[in-house]
Every structure is written in C-alpha cells, then in structure tokens.
A and B are shown apart, each in its own frame.
Chain A
C-alpha cells in the first residue's frame, strides 16, 4: 500500500476502485480477441500428395493419414462400385515416405503387386489399384509445395497477438495495483511475481515472433488463466510468491519442451510404451506410498515438497492414449487401450481420488470414441464405469457424504455445506465487477485457492472475469475441433481432443462442484487453481493443443511443411504484410474459398463430380 501511495499519492484507492470496473472489460477483450483470431481466421488445408484417377480426375490428399474408398466419409473418395467403402489407407511418415495399407475385403495393388497386411511403400508416379480402379499417385515436389505454401494464411494478421499480449499486460498491472491497494499484506513478492510473469511472456513472444511464429492464441489464453491464478496466489500467500512463480516458469518450460518433443511423430510413437508403463507405475507407487489425506491417497511428500502424481499421469495418459490411424484399425490396440484406461481409473478409485477418476473416465470416453467411432464400445465402457462408481461409492464414505450434500448445501450450512454455502455467498457478493483483487474474505476458507477457486474469482474479480476464465477453456476446445479438420495425423487430433476434454471436465467439476450444480469432487480449475503439479500438467496438456494447430507458421509444435524434404521453401514471415491488405490482392479479396487450386485439371475438387 505504501508503495502505491508513494506512486499515486492520495489517488491510489480511487485508481484501484476505477480499475475494478475496467479490468473485466480488458479480460473480455483478451478472450474475445483470442476467440476471434482462432475461430475466424482462414483455415487453409495443407496438401501432401495427389491421386490422379482416369488420368485427370485429381484427388488431393490433405492429411498424413488418408482413407481411400467409396464412402462419403473417407479422405480420398473413389466413387466406383468396384471399390470398397473403406478400401485402403495411405500413411505418410514425418520424413515424407508413404505407405499403403489394405483395409477390409478388397484387394489393393501397387504397380500390379498386391499389398500384403503389413502394407507396401508407394512413391511418386506409382500406380495404385483399388479393386479394378487404377490411379496414379503423385507426391508433391518441393516446387509444388512451395507454391502452395505461398497461399496459406498465417494467423495474427487481422487480430495481432502483440496487441492482445499488451492488453494482458494491462490486466496484470491492474491486478497488481489492486493487490497493493487492497491487501496490506501484499508487497515486493507480489510485485516481483507479476513482473516476472510479464517479462517471461514478452520474452517468449519476442523470441518466437522473431523466428517467424504467428499463432499465439492458446498460450495467451493459458497466460491469462495463469495470471488469474497468480492473483489467487497473491491473495492467499502474498508472502510466499517465489514458489508460485518458479512453478509457473517450470510449467512454461515443460510446455516448450513438450511442444518441441511432439514435433517429431516418430519420436513420439517410439516412447509411447514407456508412457503406458510410467502412468501405471506412478499410480501404483502413489497407491502404495501415499498417506491418506482427506480420505484419499493422492499426494507424495518429499520433505517440504508435495506432488500429486495423478496430475502428471494425465499427460502420460493422453500421450499414450492417442494413436495414429494405422493402429486404429487393429482391434487389439483398442482393447489394450481400454484395459489401460480401466487400470488408471481403477487405481485412482482405489486411491479414493474420485474426482480425478471421473476426469480420466470422461477423457477415456472421448478418446475411445475418437479411436473407434463406435457407440457400442462407449456404452460398454459406461456400463462398466457405473458399476465401478457404485463400488467406489459403497467403499468410500467421504464420497457418499459429498453426494448427499449435493443440492442441499443450504440445509447444513455449518457442517457439510460449510464450504459451498460460503462459496455461493462470496460468489454472489462480488457482483459483475468484484470487490477487487486481494479484497475478499473467501480466500481464508479451506481449499478456497484450489477446489473452490471459482468463488474467489467471482468475489474478487467479479462475474465477468470469472466467466472469461470459463470462456478461455471453451475457446481452446472449439479451437481443437476446428483444427481437427486440417490435422495431419489422427494422433494430434486425438491427443488435442483428449487434452481439452480433460480440461473441460476438470473445469466443470471444479466450478459447478463448488457452486453446487454438480457433486463436489475436489478437482482443480485448469491453470487457475494453486497447486504445483496441476499447473505443470495443464501447461503440458496445452502442448497437445498447440500440436493440433496446422495453420501456416502458427505453431512451433508443428514442423513447417517445407522443412521435411530439406527444400528451401518459402519463408512466409519475410513477406511485407501490406501484400495481404493491398486492394489488388485478388486472392484475399476474392470470392473463392479454394482460390489456390488454380489448376484447370482440378475438376474433381472444384465441381465435386467426375470429369
């Protein structure tokens, strides 16, 4: 407070009060800019190869994993009665080598030789025969890929990330000011924490921007949520900010590492088995070694350091659970995955961590549905889970107690409904704009900074900012769904969908558990809740989201197309940006969404019919 008074003089409280009414709008702007940028920018598909049917009908192959067949839902459609609905599958390695696999009952040939169950390599100019229909396989040359790249759009031109980041910095400054003005306990530690966060985020941005990266929406949303989390930490432990900021830096570091790691799909696949083993192993170790805290064995203590291994297992679970298309057609793989998931959920249930078990289970549903597309599998899993839940509920009295309290927190406000009745009261008390960061009483309630953090957001920062936090995660989910359409490998699609599902389930259980709309299960609000392991896990999960972003130069977790074959490629960032806004720019202002297929041979794609 002295410091703020020193800077702003007698106006300090007034400025803090005014900032309470400005920051929610800044938050809305930050989230809205990210959403607009992610959902409104053009998504130009990548093209990796072509099939020429009957000489001149061209089928572009837009992914690394493409199913060929007669069905409408395949990637390369060959509409001929002689072709099976799902006939064959073409898969590209990150290095650019293609393999063809035969699916189903039909027969597939490469240059007249039948493709055996192990698949067969296929190269440029090879003749691929599906049943009786022949097609010429054309891999893209460097020149062709370069010329296509020119027309792909990079994000960040209409909605500049630098401006969004500037708004985020304003938001951080405002929060800092409020902490200093409202909370007598806030001092140098809080200033240092916010300063380090702002420095790191600008450093990250400048380095990546200088190396040609243009997409920053997922990081900015995560940074926004982490900023809110830092504010919660500043309210809770203004004297102990060092630990929190170190954790946040570690989380961002791990995120960068994960992004770089998943650039290489072969590398990812090569250690998946270890991820399976590590996941089960960590849960087993926890189950055996962890003491019982609040009815659950979730925490391992190493001196003053406590970690929650189940949070890290979340990352491993996604990492190991996602799969490439070739594996999806082998039932054995799915059964193995179901067994692995049952193991994880079962171990969590045994640990008494009901909330995390539920998070895993819903994530399992999403991933298994994406892998199999079969509702039957999913229903089977649900039935199994219901039985499992009954088992958990009968065994664990503290879980039963929470279910009994659900919807009745006002019946027993000073015992079982103690936390939630106060959470609701604090949340309502904040109104739309909140009482100000560091100016709340609810932070003093047990678990306010973790399981009940949404009430702190509502009370101190107001309903608008709290809803912005929910919107941030919803935006990430929408982003992943949109990215899936232009995904290279199903691995990245499944991993990203799994990661955002995990975040959304946690979000729902945290927010609506605290607000007595869902049972109160005690999980964290992604990026916002205090708690080191959870924060690390969320940032690592964000890498999977980043890995699904195939927009031009958008994501450093995705290798640029021109780099695979060592070609010179076209450095998009070298272009003057005016080009994109010039009135004569026929492509940008043009009406065709498929503008870059100027090839007159492109009759198949253009007309949608056969030539």
Chain B
C-alpha cells in the first residue's frame, strides 16, 4: 500500500501544471490585460464597435477626445483637432504611436484590478492645445513637424505632425495621394530626416572635446573647398573665420575641415553618445524611430559630408529634441513626457562645459546672424539647418529659449520646404510666441 500511496504524488504533478498555467495566465493578464480589454469586441466599453467611455484632455483640461453613449468626439475647434491628431490619435487607430493607440486602456480607465468596471475618468496630457494649433497654423500646409518641450520638467507642450486631417470627419481623402504622403505617421516620433546644418552642433561638440586648439584655429572659406578629393560647397563666401563665426554662418568649408580633423568614426560615436542613433521610449511605452549616422569608408571627404549633416545622416526629430534639451539644461536631458504629472527621469547626455559652450554659441548665432529682433520677447538660442535631399531641402530650426517662465526647447522641421532660416525659423517663432504667452512670461 505504501508504494501506491507514494505514487499518488503523481497527482501533484498535475497540480503543479495547473498552478504554473494559472501563474502564466495571471502574468499575461497583468501585462496584456489592457490590450485585451480594449479590443473592439469588448461590448462593455464599445457600442457597435465604437468606444463608449473615456476621455483625454490637454494640460488645461480642454477635451481632445471623448467617448460616451452619444458617440466619439474630438476637440470642438477644428484647428486643434488637426494639430493634436498625431499625438492624440483617432478612434480607428490609424496612428500607431498615438495616445489612443498606445494608451487605450488608460483612456477607458482600465486597470488590472478593476478591469473596465471602474467609473470613466479623464486622461490628461502635457500638450497645450493652443500652442499645437499655433504650430499647425504656422506650418501652413507644409509637411513637417513641430516639437516643443519644457527642458526643466520634460513636459511636451507641442507635438504637431503634418499632413494631418480632421478626425471628426474620418478619412475622407486619398491617403495615397502626394498631398497626404505619410499622413498616418507622426513625423516627430516615427520618421528620420537628413539633418543638414543642425547636425553641426554634434560635430562642434565633438570638436570642443577632441580638438584642443579649436579656439585658436581659423578657417578660410571662398565659397567652396576640396576636402579629401571631394568638393564641398558652402552657402556663401565667408573669408577667414573662427569656429564661433563658422557656426553662426553655418560654414560648410569650416565644418568640413573640422569634420576631417575629427574623422568619420568619431563623429558617428558622438551621434551615438547623444542618443541620435537609438530608438527611445516616450513615457517608457511609445517607441521612436532610430536615426543613423554611419561612419564613412574611411575617406576624409565622407567625414566632411557626415560632419555637416549630409552624407547618409538621418535624424529623428524627437531624438534631436532630447539632444537640444541636454544643451539647454547643462548637459542633463530631462526625458520628455506626454502624460501629465508623470515624470520620465533624466539622463546625463553630455559634459556640462560642452553644453555651456554650445549654449553660448547658439545664443551668438541669434545675436549676430539671425537677429534678436526676429524673435521678439524670446531669449533665443538656436541653429538653422537646410538639408539637401532629392526633391528639395528640409528646413530645420532647433534650439531653446531661456525665458524665466518658459524654458522650452524645440525642433521644427519642414519637409522639402526651403531654407531653415526663412521657412523653419518663423514657424518656431510663432509657436514659441504662443507658448510664452500661455506660460504667462
């Protein structure tokens, strides 16, 4: 009998199997339950396939999207609807990185504990809908993106991507047409672009830390130059200039020379160090596209092109915003957040001295090149960029303001829309004027 008794423990193997499977189930429920519960077949929160509960508002409580038994609606103002579309998303889930796609469980106030039984509550974002609308109006039909965030708190107050559409009326356009190219993509998070001259900030940072006599060197520009057998063309004829003037004039001859001194590999290494070649997670959940700054084949000419933001360089606007934020904040990047009240931590991205120097030189750009009067009321530090691509030039303008109540860093990119100074800089100005006004400073 004792033998049979002992063998009865075989039953415990089945008990163990049951417990193991139960553990797997509870684990999956805890991790994926939000996705399961917000599946469109869940009739607790969907009426005929349309969400019937939940809402999301901007930082001031302005409703951006709301679901109830009366249906699903977006913001009352059409410009705000279009401006916030890529950040907030639409009911159909057309924008994969949007709040409505990534945070649908929070939108309907789902939790592992309560399931969908809890009362609906409103989600709050860090966005300021008015600033987004200002950016949307300023970009005026061009394709591109405007990103603004508070480099002290990490709050993203503006994230606009165009082309966009009015979600209240659904997709009533031809998505394959030229005018709506990439309409379902949030360019701020999911795209990469040739950076052009804004990348000179990276090259400059590398030079400051690796070329001891960079301040003593002078560079000669007569419109173009031959580096490593490759002809590098400049935007103007700058004569004999210092590194500070080279940045202000965005002189390709000078930066080609500096890049040649640094070498291709070192520039790539700095791009990697500043997070420009990796994918990031906004709020630990929303993935961004990874840029790439590949080292050339070892030829000096490739290094020159790489250092001025051409060659095969591709940069994601969000990653560049982190880089700018670190410059503005003494080398520490406060990680951006789009969920109100949620801090995402911070990262020591660069040496504080380097950040300080870059910051001063970006201020010098504005004082002596772009003109302080161009940005009335804004303590502007910035860098323009005009990236050569097939079919036109990307207009970039990236920087930050040091106004007391409005510590904002920004990246503006208008796709194949012209020059950085003439196209991107006014968009940034209009957006920041609104942001500063709303900040009360």
A interface list, Cβ under 8 A from B: 62-67, 73-75, 325, 328, 362, 365-366, 369-370, 373, 413, 421-422, 424-435, 441, 462-463, 467, 470, 473-474, 477-478, 480-481, 484-485, 487, 490, 493-494, 497, 500-501, 504-505, 507-508, 511-512, 515, 517-518
Contacts and interface: CB of A to CB of B under 8 A. Distances in A.
Contacts of B9: 481
Nearest to B38: A425
Contact of B4 (A441, A494, A508, A512): A494
Interface stretch (B108-116, B162-170, B307-315): B108-116
Contact of B117 (A62, A63, A424, A431): A431
A504 B39 contact: no
A435 B5 contact: no
22 contacts: A65-B1, A67-B1, A73-B2, A366-B10, A373-B3, A373-B7, A425-B37, A427-B36, A433-B114, A434-B115, A434-B117, A462-B115, A463-B29, A474-B15, A480-B8, A497-B8, A501-B10, A504-B11, A504-B18, A505-B14, A511-B22, A515-B25
A430 B117 contact: yes
A487 to B, nearest CB: 7
A202 to B, nearest CB: 31
A457 B195 CA distance: 56
A369 B44 CA distance: 47
Contacts of A484: 4-5, 8
Given A67-B2, A431-B114, A435-B115, 11 more contacts: A75-B1, A369-B10, A370-B4, A425-B36, A428-B29, A431-B111, A432-B115, A433-B114, A474-B15, A493-B8, A504-B11
Contacts of B11: 366, 477, 480-481, 497, 500-501, 504
B2 A425 contact: no
Contact of B44 (A62, A429, A487, A512): A429
Contacts of A518: 21
A339 B3 CA distance: 24
B374 interface: no
B211 interface: no
Rank and list the top 9 A-B pairs by shortest CB-CB distance, nearest first.
A431-B115, A484-B8, A441-B43, A63-B1, A428-B36, A428-B33, A428-B37, A490-B4, A425-B39
A325 B34 CA distance: 54
B348 interface: no
Given A425-B36, A425-B42, A484-B4, A474 B18 contact: yes
B7 A429 contact: no
B36 A424 contact: yes
Nearest to B5: A484
A73 to B, nearest CB: 6
Contacts of A373: 3, 7
B17 interface: yes
A428 B45 CA distance: 12
Contacts of B29: 427-428, 463
B6 interface: yes
B15 A325 contact: no
Interface string B97-126: 000000000000011111111100000000
Nearest to B12: A481
B24 interface: yes
Nearest to A496: B8
B12 to A, nearest CB: 6
B117 A425 contact: no
Interface in B81-105: none
B19 interface: yes
Contacts of B44: 426, 429, 435, 441
B140 interface: no
A485 B1 CA distance: 9
Contacts of B111: 431
Contact of B2 (A74, A426, A467): A74
Contacts of B78: none
Nearest to A507: B18
B171 interface: no
A256 to B, nearest CB: 25
Contacts of A431: 111-118
B8 A470 contact: no
Nearest to B105: A428
B17 A508 contact: yes
B2 A75 contact: yes
A101 to B, nearest CB: 14
B248 to A, nearest CB: 54
Contact of B8 (A74, A428, A441, A481): A481
Contacts of A62: 1
Contacts of A481: 8-9, 11-12
Nearest to B2: A75
B116 A429 contact: yes
Contacts of A500: 11, 14
Interface in B42-87: 42-45
A425 B36 CA distance: 4
A508 B111 CA distance: 26
Contacts of B28: 515, 517
Given A425-B36, A432-B113, A515-B25, A504 B15 contact: yes
A369 B10 CA distance: 8
Contacts of B110: 428-429
Contacts of B24: 512, 517
B41 interface: yes
A421 B343 CA distance: 34
Nearest to B4: A490
A38 to B, nearest CB: 14
Nearest to A421: B39
Nearest to A323: B4
Contacts of B114: 431-433
Contacts of A75: 1-2
A511 B14 contact: no
Nearest to B8: A484
A334 to B, nearest CB: 13
A508 B37 contact: no
Contacts of A74: 2-3
Contacts of A485: 5
A466 B258 CA distance: 68
Contact of B15 (A73, A477, A494): A477
A146 B5 CA distance: 26
A512 B1 contact: no
Contacts of A441: 42-44
B1 A325 contact: yes
Q: Which of A429, A473, A493 neighbours the largest number of chain B CB atoms within 10 Å of its CB?
A: A429
A224 B7 CA distance: 29
A480 B34 CA distance: 39
Given A63-B1, A421-B41, A470 B10 contact: no
Q: Which of B8, B39, B42, B45 neighbours the largest number of chain A CB atoms within 10 Å of its CB?
A: B8
B16 to A, nearest CB: 10
A435 B2 CA distance: 49
Contact of A511 (B4, B8, B21, B34): B21
Nearest to A502: B14
B436 to A, nearest CB: 44
Contacts of A432: 113-115
A527 B340 CA distance: 48
A325 B117 contact: no
Given A366-B14, A431-B112, A477-B12, A325 B19 contact: no
A534 B327 CA distance: 70
Contacts of B26: 463
A508 B17 CA distance: 8
A507 B18 CA distance: 8
Nearest to A470: B22
Contacts of B33: 428
A284 B258 CA distance: 88
Contacts of B17: 504, 508
A328 B43 CA distance: 56
Q: Which of B24, B44, B113 neighbours the largest number of chain A CB atoms within 10 Å of its CB?
A: B44
A401 to B, nearest CB: 20
B41 A413 contact: yes
